[in-house]
Amino acid sequence: MRVLIAASEAIPYCKTGGLADVSGSLFKELATMNIDVRLIIPLYKGIMNNFPVSDTGVRLVIPMQHRNYQAHLYSDNGVFFVRCDEFFDRDWLYGETEGDFPDNALRFAFFCRTVLEACRLTDYCPDIIHFNDWQTSLIPLYIKTHYQNDKFFRNVVTVLTIHNIGYQGLFKPEIMPLIDIERGLFSPESIEFYGKVNFLKAGILYADIITTVSRRYAEEIITSEYGFGLDGVLKTRKKDIYGIRNGVDYTKWSPSVDTFIAKSYSSNDMRDKAYCKKKLLKDCGFVIKKNIPLISFIGRFASQKGIKLIISTLSRMIEYGCRVVMLGKGDRNLENILIKKASGLTGKLYLKKGFDEKFAHSVYAGSDMVIIPSQYEPCGLVQMIAMKYGTVPVVRRTGGLSDTIEDYNALSDTGTGFLFDSYNASAFFEAIKRAVTVYTHKNRWNKLMQRGMNKDFSWKKSAAEYIELYKKTLSS
Ligand code: ADP
């Protein structure tokens, strides 16, 4: 079986969030399971300097917007890169702090076209094109329009994975001719969406199969509360929607092999987690004292992640004796509020603004708890990674958080984290208080950490589920 994964980001080459972890890890896992798999992403700035990518010699010419755009196809061990400096040689993937790049529609429509042209020119006819999120969602539409009479793509099955339905790729209708899609498709039955062009809607309507990244999120996105306006369209495809949980790459995310952390440790011997905590307390400028609950947040500063709940709970957490580390970047308003908070809480709240992979490892290892009070969370990797490091998640019961964490039960002394339901600061703080109470009972807390560490969220099972789904779709 030949599988082509198309994505706008993938580890280890480029990453803004979980999508990169998923596309890079799934590619790696499918390859170990003897699938003839390829991955294709844009060649962003910096990739060439840091990885041994080489020019395949294949030239891609894409006529769009009354112009021939050109790209060069590069590769590195089964991973292919579309090089078009005009679109991708930029410091950021999708936009700067001021907002998204104004030519994103053209950039990613172009990328979708190059994915298909690259298949033809390298004579690689995939059985499955597995594409991800809005950036690659025009692929099945181009197959059904530009390539409808092309035998090469006749038997290709397309699979869309929705990683986050909150990001849909919405653009003004004027872009229709620029992206080379006939005007007639700007209709409610096709890619029109409340007066705009919606890339993700194209993926939802024209893919053969749709997956999303946890079972619960697969149910949530067909409701008006979580569907971001696409729930109606998704309902029409309900029988083709599957939930497959993301996995974690434990060759990278495991305290026993992690070279970024102060000292490695495992669930059999966790003494050195205390050392990692001490180091983190020191690095954050906190007074080093025993038994201070150290709470962390790692992620995008976006309203989705419940940053407002965190902001309105920070002082209470600190009054309750906790210290807080926050690592992230994102929405400028939220960043500014956090910067102001942090300046008033020096020595108690440490804010690290930016994307810092190495520091993220130290935070996972050194914290006692990680907080994820998300409004919605398609799957979430942070809680699964944290559990591997014996860092206990305190999360809202939604999406993948609900699928991967079992609420702590004091009577039976079972569970792997602390869940709360209502999206409000008091429900969130109650969950933190529950966690801190258990934290003071060392015996219970150690067992809780160990249960999390012994959970297996590796890619093996999820990749096997994707293979089953590919096979089922190919045979139907
Ligand atoms: P998202 O909604 O952003 O995809 P996930 O929980 O699925 O959230 O994945 C987030 C991934 O990005 C995790 O691997 C997390 O460790 C990493 N991450 C998020 N923000 C940062 C940051 N500021 N610095 C380093 N790593 C980060």
Give residue-wise pLDDT tens across range 343-371: 999 999 999 999 999 999 999 999 999 99
CB 397 within 8 A of CB 421: yes
Question: With 90 as the cut, is the pLDDT of residue 64 above it?
Answer: no
Predicted local distance difference test score (pLDDT) of residue 96 = 86
Ligand 1 binding pocket includes 103 (Cβ within 6 Å): no
Give 62 Cα–ligand 1 centroid separation in angstroms: 34
Give 475 Cα–ligand 1 centroid separation in angstroms: 36
Predicted local distance difference test score (pLDDT) of residue 18 = 82
- Alpha-carbon distance 379 to 164, whole Å? 9
Ligand 1 binding pocket includes 329 (Cβ within 6 Å): yes
Q: Which atom of ligand 1 is nearest to the CA of 164?
A: 2
Question: With 80 as the cut, is the pLDDT of residue 277 above it?
Answer: yes
- Mean pLDDT for the chain overall: 96
Predicted local distance difference test score (pLDDT) of residue 476 = 84
The one-character DSSP state at 356 is: -
pLDDT in tens, 436-469: 999 999 999 999 999 999 999 999 999 999 999 9
Give 171 Cα–ligand 1 centroid separation in angstroms: 26
Residue 66 confidence class, pLDDT cut points 50, 70, 90: confident
pLDDT in tens, 306-324: 999 999 999 999 999 999 9
Predicted local distance difference test score (pLDDT) of residue 384 = 98
Q: What count of other Cβ atoms lies within 10 Å of the Cβ of residue 462?
A: 21
92-98 long-range contacts, Cβ below 8 Å, gap at least 24? Answer: 93/8, 93/9, 93/14, 93/16, 93/44, 94/8, 94/16, 97/332
**Average pLDDT, stretch 20-41?**
96
What number of helices (H) and strands (E) belong to the chain? Answer: 18, 20
Question: With 90 as the cut, is the pLDDT of residue 400 above it?
Answer: yes
Q: How much of the chain exceeds pLDDT 70, in percent?
A: 100
The one-character DSSP state at 408 is: P
pLDDT in tens, 94-109: 998 778 999 999 999 9
pLDDT in tens, 125-139: 999 999 999 999 999
pTM of the model: 0.93
Predicted local distance difference test score (pLDDT) of residue 433 = 98
Which tokens is 384 given?
């699964």
- Alpha-carbon distance 466 to 243, whole Å? 10
Residue 326 confidence class, pLDDT cut points 50, 70, 90: very high
Give 304 Cα–ligand 1 centroid separation in angstroms: 13
**Average pLDDT, stretch 235-244?**
97
**How far is C-alpha 248 from the geometric centre of its chain's CA atoms?**
11
Predicted local distance difference test score (pLDDT) of residue 95 = 93
Residue of 470, 462, 473 whose CA lies nearest to 214: 462
Residue 65 confidence class, pLDDT cut points 50, 70, 90: confident
Beta bridge partners of 96: 99
Strands (E), 185-289: 192-193, 196-198, 209-212, 241-243
**Average pLDDT, stretch 314-340?**
96
The string of DSSP letters for 30-70 reads HHHTT-EEEEEEE--TTHHHHS--EEEEEEEEEEETTEEEE
Ligand 1 binding pocket includes 403 (Cβ within 6 Å): no
116-120 long-range contacts, Cβ below 8 Å, gap at least 24? Answer: 116/142, 116/143, 116/146, 116/147, 116/153, 117/60, 117/61, 117/62, 118/40, 118/58, 118/60, 118/73, 118/80, 118/82, 119/4, 119/152, 119/153, 120/152
Ligand 1 binding pocket includes 382 (Cβ within 6 Å): yes
Question: With 80 as the cut, is the pLDDT of residue 63 above it?
Answer: yes
- In the block, tokens 């305290």 appear at 255
Question: With 90 as the cut, is the pLDDT of residue 155 above it?
Answer: yes
Residue 6 confidence class, pLDDT cut points 50, 70, 90: very high
Ligand 1 binding pocket includes 357 (Cβ within 6 Å): yes
pLDDT in tens, 186-201: 999 999 999 999 999 9
Residue 113 confidence class, pLDDT cut points 50, 70, 90: very high
Round the CA-based radius of gyration of the chain to a whole number and report it: 23
3-state SS class at 297: strand
Give 122 Cα–ligand 1 centroid separation in angstroms: 34
CB 209 within 8 A of CB 239: no
Q: Which atom of ligand 1 is nearest to the CA of 15?
A: 12
Beta bridge partners of 61: 70
